[in-house]
Structure 1
Amino acid sequence: MRLMDRIKGLFGKREAAKNKIFEYEEFQKAYVSKKLKDNLDYLQRILKGSQDIIYREFSIRAINQEFLLVYVDGMAEKKLLNDQILKSMMVEMNPFLAKEKFTLEEVKNQLVSATEVNEVETFDKLVLALLSGDTLVFMEGSAHGLIVGSKGWESRGVSEPTTEKSVKGPKDCFIETLKNNIVLIRRRIRDPNLAVEMLQVGRRSKTDVAIVYLKGVMRQEIVALIKKRIQQVDTDGLIDSTELMGLIEDHKWTFFPQIQHTERPDRAVAAILEARAAVLVDGSPFALLAPATFSMFLDSPDDYYERAIVSSLIRFTRYLSFFISASLPGVYIAITSFHPGMLPVALALSITGTRVALPFPTVVEMFAMETILEVLHEAGLRLPQAIGQTVGIVGGIVIGQAAVQAGLVSPVVVIIVAMTAITSFTLSSYSLNLTTRVLRIPFMIAGSTLGLYGIMVLWMFLLTHMSSLESFGVGYLEDFSPFRLRDLKDTFIRVPKYLMGKRPEFLKPEDTQRQRTRKKQ
């Protein structure tokens, strides 16, 4: 029995060696060999099964010095490899080579004409650079390798924003390439104090993450806290910035978003100039803005491209829409079930007349119609764009009308549900839209059990909960309380631009002055 176990264990060890999993920590102790064949064998062993890895061996014929070129097909720019490495070393330099042998330092400074060339001795940096799209160059007799910057994969072009549309203002948006997104910010902030700190997240994905902020403006304690939380993330991979948002925010179990995500560079730039930071993730077309406060989620880019009076009225409408979208169904249930005397007699009689012979109580009708609304909303999102909107609109009208004619639902309930849906669409933040959709459920329960008293208690609980939230050390409602006149200039209303001479006080910026206030003449 023991003999069989040993035989099985021997085969198990062979199988484990065959399917060995390599970690980057192992590569830190793996140094480049002076023998080209050893480096080639090592790379082929750790990258076994990757048929898109190209190994190109060549030599400089005048001195017969051998080299190895390694890159990932489709991630490296082949024109750069041909013109600035292979052609430069094999063709253009050959007639002028008088030396017997070149050192790697001379190859780096004289033969390779690419702009980004780094000399490395361990395989952890070499393999990471290779799988990031760069090219590796090894030379016979040298215990170092060269990393040549050659990233050149296909990417989506800059287009118009799809989730944050605006009538006025810029029409470009972030894309999935990190470097392009940083450029979109640098085009708008040409300040040498604009800092871009690069980090990597993910044990396997090694996703590049950039923290963009203004030195001398944003408080360094907040920058350090954001950086610390990103560095503490321990996960296999990071696919999108919204995944990172869920890993670094302060409060995980709350309905309210604590970090704003945006696809608009102008919105990210405005936040950076206001003493906040933008976090960009490679592969994601959305930037994260932190620290965030509640008022940020009710702002719209159009607010800053219209006159202050018009923007203030529209913004106040959004605050009202937030209240209506979250609690209107619950308020209707509470009034019709517990407080019908609050309604005018004619309206109360009209509502009562529509409810004659209906089989279900008001709360059941409301829950049923809200469920149908959510189903239609999800169906419209998942279907192709050409028919998604049609299904949502036509489906809502047909189902609502059929339910009323069949005597299953009151016409007033259909109106309330429609108003709730329309007001939720006025919110500029999709995350806050989802919050109101979730909040309707507890408000309907509170209204059906305790009436308006339950609605008021729930609103007080929500305000207390919101005031207890923080985003990287900044209170969620700190732009409202404690009272500061300077901070209220861009909350419920928006004052004219020339009156916003200083940055928000609650962010405690290092440089408080953002413009000189113009005196009225």
Structure 2
Amino acid sequence: MIKKLFSKLHSTEVRKEAEYQIEFTGDINKTVESINNIVGESDDIIQRDFLIGKRIRATLFFVDGLCDSDSIEEDIIRPLIYFTDPERYDEKEFLPYLQNEVITLSELKIETSLEKAMLPFLSGETMLIIDGLKELILFETRRFNERSIAEPESEVVVRGPRDGFVESLHTNILQIRRRIRDPNLTVQFGTLGRRAKSDIAIVYIKGVANEKFIDEIRYRVSCINNDNVMETGTLEQFIEDNVLSVFPQMSRTERPDKIVGALMNGNVVTFHDGSPFALMAPVMLHMLFRSPEDYYDRWQIGSLIRVLRYFAALIAIFLPAIYIAMVSFHQGMIPTTLAISIAASREGVPFPAFIEAIIMEVTIELLREAGVRLPRAVGQTIGIVGGLVIGDAAVRAGIVSPVMVIVVALTAIASFAIPAYNISIAFRVVRFIMMLSAAVFGLYGLVMVYIFINIHLVGLRSLGAYYTAPFAPYQFGDWLDLLIRAPISVLTKRSTELKPRDQQKKGL
């Protein structure tokens, strides 16, 4: 049996899409044979033969597990079997009568091509072939087991909604529809992957989003030629402007309220079936420092927290590099008392400041990655206990100085204060580059790398929009929602760089 199955697998040829282009002749035997030639080797493809009104032959095909078997039995098979006197209707009247009088399912459609019917069929719809008809019927009988809606774990907020996206595309779209009851909210479905053919949806508000960005997203998605696009992270890499940049050119989120805010501002959002993350584009660098709760609290509180995030970003990028440069090259710039304290703490440490920092930074990254991969309770324990034990042991062993432990701890805490995980990772990469340049050239190298990064950011685009706007190009009107968050009553205009068709957020 094993040898037989093995030889069968190796003798199976890849089916080309041209094989789906079958014209229906009305002969049910030929049609069923053609379908079996395409999917007949799959054991989860169920074929059900029966008679309509005990006279006309019919065959149902559906994918086991993707379809609601109870609905198939009660709403399709049972009414057709008990259909009385089917032969008194001619071919033109038969299908309309079945649709309007016999079948109780609300969603069904007629297809004349197997090529067009194959994708819905493999997505969970039920296919019905009737002897003598040159068309087949597709019934909406999909049933998926999905995760219940819960609070997003990657974007926790103190104040705000507690629901998040799940892996079901239609459930995610419903969460947006529930919040935006505007008839201009437009949802366009499509498929990705030459073989996987996974579902995606492009969502925008007509009359707000700029047509240029909508057309650009459509064009880039249509140009993807790959067997499988598994997740929005993979989709992002296919359609981003600069694949060599470490900085994210699209924003991703699990929060419906954040997506609603983006749609209202004129962004275009992309969903992928099987992923709980949605992509927003175009995105500017400052948008990655925003959190939904900035707008739920009073403007003074939201502004203070936002300024703290920018300060945390500076610490996460520059603090270890500044320490290395000061200790290694520019001791004269350190106040005398502090310099003596640092020198005393480093007495007996066998490594230069750069190697010391690399050891601690790599250790922190290992602890962070281990905490993510382990079970939640164990991961939190590893992160806290591991950091305390390893840091204390390293200081006692004389491998690192206590000041370096403080610097690395502050850097790690600051990186956690940034709300967007993808920009936080980018800053971690930049931090190592800064540390290397500071170890070689001191503050001069640090400033030089900072200038190169700014040059890169100014030239970076997101769907063609300027990544550093409204800093460069300078747009004063957008500064009301930049470093600080002005009162809601003042924020009456959408971002200039998004070029929205409707600039005003409220009626004049």
* TM norm. shorter chain > 0.5: yes
Q: Which amino acid aligns with 2:279?
A: L
For residues 392-414 of structure 1, what are the alpha-carbon distances to aligned partners after superposition, in whole Å with 9 as ceiling and x for unaligned? 11111111111111111111111
> 259, 264, 269: which one pairs with 2:255?
264
Matched, 1:24 2:17: yes
Show the 5 A alignment for 1:41-440. 41-61=33-53, 64-91=55-82, 93-94=83-84, 99=88, 103-440=94-431
8 Å Cα contact 2:236/2:279 also seen in 1: yes
Query: What displacement does 1:143 show?
Result: 1.2
Query: What displacement does 1:100 show?
Result: 5.8
| Secondary structure in structure 2 of the residue aligned to 1:69 | strand
Query: What displacement does 1:23 show?
Result: 2.7
Q: Identify the residue that residue 38 of structure 1 maps to in structure 2.
A: 30
8 Å Cα contact 1:480/1:487 also seen in 2: no
Q: Which amino acid aligns with 1:55?
A: Q
Structure 1: distance between partners of 2:437 and 2:89: 87
Q: Percent identity?
A: 38
| Secondary structure in structure 2 of the residue aligned to 1:187 | helix
For residues 112-152 of structure 1, what are the alpha-carbon distances to aligned partners after superposition, in whole Å with 9 as ceiling and x for unaligned? 22122111111112221111000001100011111111111
Structure 1: distance between partners of 2:269 and 2:112: 34
8 Å Cα contact 2:241/2:462 also seen in 1: yes
Matched, 1:445 2:469: no
- Between 184-193 and 78-87, report the one with greater CA deviation: 78-87
Structure 2: distance between partners of 1:16 and 1:158: 40
Question: What TM-score, normalized to structure 1?
Answer: 0.93
Structure 1 runs not aligned, ≥5 long: 1-13
8 Å Cα contact 2:53/2:86 also seen in 1: no
Query: What displacement does 1:24 show?
Result: 2.7
For residues 143-187 of structure 1, what are the alpha-carbon distances to aligned partners after superposition, in whole Å with 9 as ceiling and x for unaligned? 111111111121111111111111111111111111111111011
Structure 2: distance between partners of 1:336 and 1:235: 51
Q: Identify the residue that residue 457 of structure 1 maps to in structure 2.
A: 448
Structure 1: distance between partners of 2:278 and 2:393: 44
Runs of at least 4 residues of structure 1 off by over 6 A? 14-17
8 Å Cα contact 2:345/2:401 also seen in 1: yes
Query: What displacement does 1:97 show?
Result: 5.5
Query: What displacement does 1:314 show?
Result: 0.6
For residues 84-104 of structure 1, what are the alpha-carbon distances to aligned partners after superposition, in whole Å with 9 as ceiling and x for unaligned? 21122223x33x757266633
Structure 2: distance between partners of 1:106 and 1:26: 32
8 Å Cα contact 1:256/1:435 also seen in 2: yes
| Secondary structure in structure 2 of the residue aligned to 1:58 | strand
Query: What displacement does 1:22 show?
Result: 1.2
Q: Identify the residue that residue 4 of structure 2 maps to in structure 1.
A: none
8 Å Cα contact 1:501/1:516 also seen in 2: no
Structure 1: distance between partners of 2:312 and 2:41: 56
Query: What displacement does 1:342 show?
Result: 1.4
Q: Identify the residue that residue 487 of structure 2 maps to in structure 1.
A: 496
Query: What displacement does 1:111 show?
Result: 2.1
Query: What displacement does 1:482 show?
Result: 2.6
| Secondary structure in structure 2 of the residue aligned to 1:332 | helix
8 Å Cα contact 1:502/1:512 also seen in 2: yes
Structure 1: distance between partners of 2:211 and 2:483: 29
8 Å Cα contact 1:259/1:289 also seen in 2: yes
Query: What displacement does 1:82 show?
Result: 1.8
8 Å Cα contact 1:256/1:432 also seen in 2: yes
Q: Identify the residue that residue 3 of structure 2 maps to in structure 1.
A: none
Structure 2: distance between partners of 1:166 and 1:70: 47
Question: What TM-score, normalized to structure 2?
Answer: 0.95
User: Aligned-pair RMSD on alpha carbons?
Assistant: 1.7
Q: How many residues align?
A: 500
Structure 1: distance between partners of 2:387 and 2:9: 58
The structure-2 alpha-carbon separation of the partners of 1:299 and 1:25, relative to structure 1 and needing over 3 Å to count, comes to farther
Query: What displacement does 1:17 show?
Result: 11
- Between 39-48 and 49-58, report the one with greater CA deviation: 39-48
Query: What displacement does 1:516 show?
Result: 4.6
For residues 222-270 of structure 1, what are the alpha-carbon distances to aligned partners after superposition, in whole Å with 9 as ceiling and x for unaligned? 1000000001001101211111001000000011000000000110010
Structure 1: distance between partners of 2:105 and 2:11: 38
The structure-2 alpha-carbon separation of the partners of 1:25 and 1:513, relative to structure 1 and needing over 3 Å to count, comes to farther
Q: Identify the residue that residue 9 of structure 1 maps to in structure 2.
A: none
8 Å Cα contact 2:194/2:226 also seen in 1: yes
Structure 2 runs not aligned, ≥5 long: 1-6
8 Å Cα contact 1:104/1:139 also seen in 2: no
Query: What displacement does 1:60 show?
Result: 2.2
